Amino acid sequence: GAGVSQSPSNKVTEKGKDVELRCDPISGHTALYWYRQSLGQGLEFLIYFQGNSAPDKSGLPSDRFSAERTGGSVSTLTIQRTQQEDSAVYLCASTPDRVYGYTFGSGTRLTVV
């Protein structure tokens, strides 16, 4: 596609429910990243994919968070048993290879009520 596509753009969920966030990177981009941004905070790294493998998932805040990437393309970030502190904008980015300046998607705003 022309850009990084994320869905849904907004998600409101009840505390304790599971949510799935989707990222469709730019075609041909091998590296894919998930970050989150809380109100007034910087971008917090979550996980990095190179192809379908995740060499760095050190930023996942707890075992409630998991992510996968299939076919070297689409990635899904899953948050189980959501908590209010999970409320944030979840941003996905991709690059052709490693780091040459990310292209970000428009993000998913997650609100846990």
Partner 1 sequence: QKEVEQNSGPLSVPEGAIASLNCTYSDRGSQSFFWYRQYSGKSPELIMSIYSNGDKEDGRFTAQLNKASQYVSLLIRDSQPSDSATYLCAAANSGYSTLTFGKGTMLLVSP
**Residue 41 CA to its chain's centroid (Å):** 16
Of the candidate residues 18, 20, 56, 85, the single one contacting partner 1 (CB under 8 A): 56
> Should residue 55 be labelled a site residue for partner 1 when binding is judged by CB under 8 A?
yes
User: Which tokens in the block code for residue 33?
Assistant: 């990243």
Whichever of 59 and 74 has its CB closer to partner 1, that residue is: 59
Least spacing, CB of residue 110 vs partner 1, in Å = 14
Least spacing, CB of residue 16 vs partner 1, in Å = 28
Residue 33 in contact with residue 92, Cβ under 8 Å?
A: yes
> Should residue 38 be labelled a site residue for partner 1 when binding is judged by CB under 8 A?
no
Whichever of 91 and 112 has its CB closer to partner 1, that residue is: 91
Residue 102 in contact with residue 2, Cβ under 8 Å?
A: no
* Whole-number Å distance between alpha carbons of 76 and 109: 15
> Should residue 41 be labelled a site residue for partner 1 when binding is judged by CB under 8 A?
yes
User: Which tokens in the block code for residue 67?
Assistant: 């992510």
* Whole-number Å distance between alpha carbons of 100 and 103: 9
Residues near partner 1 (CB under 8 A) are 31, 33, 35, 41-43, 45, 48, 50, 55-56, 91, 98-107
